[in-house]
Chain A
Amino acid sequence: MADTVFHEGFFRIALWVSLALGGLGLLWRLVTWLTVRIGSDAREVSFGQRLWAAIGGGVGALFSRRLPGMMGAFFLDVLFQRRLFATSKLRWAGHLMILVGFTVLLVMHALAAWLSGKLFDNYYATLNPFLLLRNVFGAMAVIGVVLLALGRRRDWAFGRPARRPADGIFAALLAVVLVSGFLLEAQKIASPKAFYRMTDEFGLGTDAEELAGLRWVWKQDYGVAFTDLHGEPDADVLAEGRELNSQACVDCHARPQSAFVSYPMARAMAPVTATLDAANADRALLWLHVLACLLGIVVLPFTRFFHAVADPVSLVARGAAASGPLSLAGRVSRRALAADACIRCGLCDARCSVAPIARWLDNPELLPSRKVQATRRVAGRAWTRVGDGDADRLAQGAHLCTDCGRCTLRCPVGLDLADLWDAGRDDLAARGLPAPATWIQEQPAIAWAEALGTELGRVPPAGPLSADRRTFSACVQCQTCTNVCPVVAHGGTDADRVDLTPQKVMNLLRLGMVDLALGSRMVWDCATCYQCQENCPEGIRVTDVMLELRGAAWRQLGPVRDRRRPE
Chain B
Amino acid sequence: MSGQQSKTWDVAVVGAGMAGMSAALFAASRGLSVLHVGNGGGLLFASGLLDVLGVHPVAPGRVWDRPWDALAALGKDDPGHPLVRVGADAVRVAMERVMSELGDAGMPYAPAEGNRQVPTSLGTTKVTYGVPRSMVAGAQAFAEGLPTLLVDFRGLREFSACQVVQTMGDRWPGLRCARVEFPDSEALSELYAVHVATALESSATRERLFERVRPLLGDASAVGFPAVLGLSRSGQVHQAFEAALGMPVFEIPTMPTSVPGLRLKGALEAAVGAHGVSRRVQSVVTGIVFDGDVAQLTLHDAAGGQTAAARAVILATGRFVGKGLVADRRGVAEPILGLRVEQPEARDSWHSRRFLEPAGHPINRAGLVTDSVGRPLDAAGNPAWRRLYAVGSILGRQDWMRQKCGSGLSAGTAWAAVDAIAGDLGGPGPVAG
- A residues in contact (CB < 8 Å) with B: 478-480, 482-484, 488-489, 491, 493-494, 534-539, 541, 544
**Interface-central residue, A482, A534, A535, A536, by most chain B CB under 10 Å:** A535
Q: Give the residue of A479, A489, A491, A538 whose beta carbon is less than 8 angstroms from that of B41.
A: A538
Q: Let me know if B45 and A488 touch, CB within 8 A.
A: no
From residue A318, how far is it (CB to closest CB) to chain B in Å? 37
Chain A neighbourhood of B42, CB < 8 A:
537
Q: Which B residue sits closest to A536, measured CB to CB? A: B41
Chain A residue at smallest Cβ distance from B184: A491
User: Does chain A have a CB within 8 A of B185?
Assistant: yes
Residue of A nearest to B188 (CB): A491
Query: Are the C-beta atoms of A484 and B194 separated by less than 8 Å?
Result: yes
Distance in Å from the Cβ of B14 to the closest Cβ of chain A?
A: 14
| 0/1 interface trace, chain B 22-36, chain A, CB 8 Å (1 if under) | 000000000000000
CA distance A480 to B195 in the complex (A): 11
Tell me if B39 counts as interface (CB < 8 A to partner A): yes
Q: Is B296 an interface residue (CB 8 A)?
A: no
Would you call B256 and A491 a contact (CB within 8 A)?
no
Q: Is A539 a contact of B41 with CB atoms below 8 Å?
A: yes
Q: Knowing A494-B187, A535-B262 touch, does A489 contact B198 (C-beta < 8 A)?
A: yes
The residue from A537, A538, A541 contacting B302, defined by CB atoms under 8 A apart: A541
**A279 → chain B closest CB, angstroms:** 66
Per-residue interface assignment for chain B, residues 193 to 206, with 1 indicating a CB less than 8 Å from any chain A CB and 0 otherwise: 11100110000000
Bound-complex Cα distance A535 to B39 (A): 8
Residues from chain B with Cβ under 8 Å of A544 in the complex:
302
Closest to B43 in A: A537
* A478 and B44 alpha carbons, distance in the complex (Å): 10
Q: Tell me which residues across on chain A come within 8 A of B39, comparing CB atoms.
A: 534, 536, 539
Q: At the interface, yes or no: B100 with Cβ under 8 Å from chain A?
A: no
**Of B45, B187, B284, which is within 8 A of A491 by CB?**
B187
Q: Which of A483, A536, A538 neighbours the largest number of chain B CB atoms within 10 Å of its CB?
A: A483
B257 to chain A, nearest CB (A): 5
B192 engages A489 (CB within 8 Å): yes
What is the interface residue range for chain B against chain A? 20 to 34
Interface of A is mostly: loop
Contact yes or no, A478 B185, CB < 8 A: no
Neighbour of A489 across the interface among B194, B265, B302, CB < 8 A = B194
Q: B45's contact among A484, A537, A539, by CB below 8 Å, is which?
A: A537
Among residues of B, the one whose C-beta sits closest to the C-beta of A531 is: B194
Q: How far is the CA of A482 from the CA of B262 in the complex (A)?
A: 13
Give min CB distance, B416 to chain A, whole Å: 27
Cβ contact within 8 Å between A482 and B192: yes
Q: Which of B167-216 contact A (CB under 8 A)?
A: 184-185, 187-188, 192-195, 198-199
Q: How far is the CA of A480 from the CA of B41 in the complex (A)?
A: 10
Which B-chain residue is minimally distant from A530 (CB atoms)? B282
Q: Which of B195, B265, B284 has the largest count of A CB atoms less than 10 A from its CB?
A: B195
Q: How far is the CA of A165 from the CA of B192 in the complex (A)?
A: 60
Tell me the minimal C-beta distance from A487 to chain B in angstroms: 11
Q: Are B193 and A483 in contact (CB under 8 A)?
A: yes
Nearest 8 A-B pairs (CB), nearest first?
A: A537-B41, A489-B195, A483-B194, A480-B257, A478-B257, A537-B44, A483-B192, A484-B194
A482 to B194, CA, bound (A): 9
11 A-B contact pairs sorted by A residue (CB < 8 Å): A479-B192, A480-B257, A483-B193, A484-B262, A489-B199, A493-B187, A534-B39, A535-B41, A536-B41, A537-B42, A539-B284
CB contacts (< 8 Å) of A539 on chain B: these are 39, 41, 284
Q: Considering the chains assembled together, what is the distance between the CA atoms of A536 and B199 in angstroms?
A: 22
Determine if B289 is an interface residue (Cβ-Cβ < 8 Å): no
CA distance A489 to B184 in the complex (A): 12
Bound form: Cα–Cα A192–B184 in Å: 95
Question: Which residue from chain A places its CB closest to the CB of B42 in the assembled complex?
Answer: A537
A488 and B41 in contact (CB under 8 A), knowing A480-B257, A493-B187, A537-B257? no
Using CB atoms, name the residue of chain B closest to A491.
Answer: B188
B247 within 8 A of A: no
State whether the Cβ of B326 lies closer than 8 Å to any Cβ in chain A.
no
Contacts of B198 in A (CB 8 A): 489
- Shortest beta-carbon distance, A475 to chain B, in Å? 12
Contacts A491-B188, A493-B187, A494-B187: A479 and B257 contacting too (C-beta < 8 A)? yes
Instruction: Kindly state whether residue B59 has any CB partner on chain A within 8 Å.
Output: no
B192 touches A488 (CB 8 A): yes
**Complex contacts, B282 vs chain A, CB 8 Å:** 534
A478 contact from B187, B256, B281, Cβ within 8 A: B256
Chain A residues within 8 Å of B44, by CB: 478, 480, 535, 537
- Residues from chain B with a CB closer than 8 A to the CB of A491 are 184-185, 187-188, 195
Tell me the bound Cα distance from A406 to B284 in angstroms.
34
By a CB distance below 8 angstroms, the chain B residues around A483 are: 192-195, 257, 262
Q: Identify 17 new A-B residue pairs, CB closer than 8 A, beyond the known A480-B257, A491-B195, A534-B39.
A: A478-B44, A480-B44, A480-B262, A482-B192, A483-B192, A483-B257, A488-B195, A489-B192, A489-B199, A491-B188, A494-B187, A535-B41, A536-B39, A537-B42, A537-B45, A537-B257, A539-B39
A494 to B187, CA, bound (A): 8
Residue ID in chain A nearest B157 by CB atoms: A479
Among A484, A494, A544: residue with most chain B CB under 10 A: A484
Q: Which residue of A lies closest to B255 (CB)?
A: A478
CB distance from A484 to the nearest CB of B (A): 5
Q: How far is the CA of A541 from the CA of B187 in the complex (A)?
A: 31
Chain B residues in 8 Å Cβ range of A488 = 192, 195
Question: Which of A493, A534, A541 is in CB contact (< 8 Å) with B281?
Answer: A534
CA A541 to CA B199, docked complex, whole Å: 27
Q: Which residues from chain A contact B194 at a C-beta distance below 8 Å?
A: 483-484, 489
Residue of B nearest to A478 (CB): B257
In the assembled complex, the Cα of A472 lies from the Cα of B193 at a distance in Å of 23
- Of B44, B45, B282, the most chain A CB neighbours within 10 A belong to B44
Closest B residue to A534 using CB positions: B281
Question: Complex Cα distance A168/B195, Å?
Answer: 59
Give the chain B neighbours of A480 by CB distance below 8 A.
41, 44, 257, 262
CB distance from B326 to the nearest CB of A (A): 13
| A18 CA to B188 CA, complexed, in Å | 71
Cα distance, A537 to B323, chains bound together (Å): 12
CA distance A357 to B185 in the complex (A): 40
Q: List chain B residues, Cβ under 8 A from A541.
A: 302
Which residue of chain A has its CB nearest to the CB of B192?
Answer: A483
Which residues of chain B come closer than 8 Å to A484, judged between CB atoms?
A: 194, 262
Q: How far is the CA of A522 from the CA of B309 in the complex (A)?
A: 42
- CB contacts (< 8 Å) of A534 on chain B: these are 39, 281-282
Q: Of residues B188, B257, B265, B281, which shows the largest number of chain A Cβ atoms within 10 Å of its Cβ?
A: B257
A480–B193 alpha-carbon span in the complex (Å): 10
Separation of A494 and B189 alpha carbons in the complex (Å): 11
Question: Binary interface profile of B, 359-385, with partner A (CB < 8 Å = 1, else 0)?
Answer: 000000000000000000000000000
Near A by CB (< 8 A), chain B positions 99-115 give: none
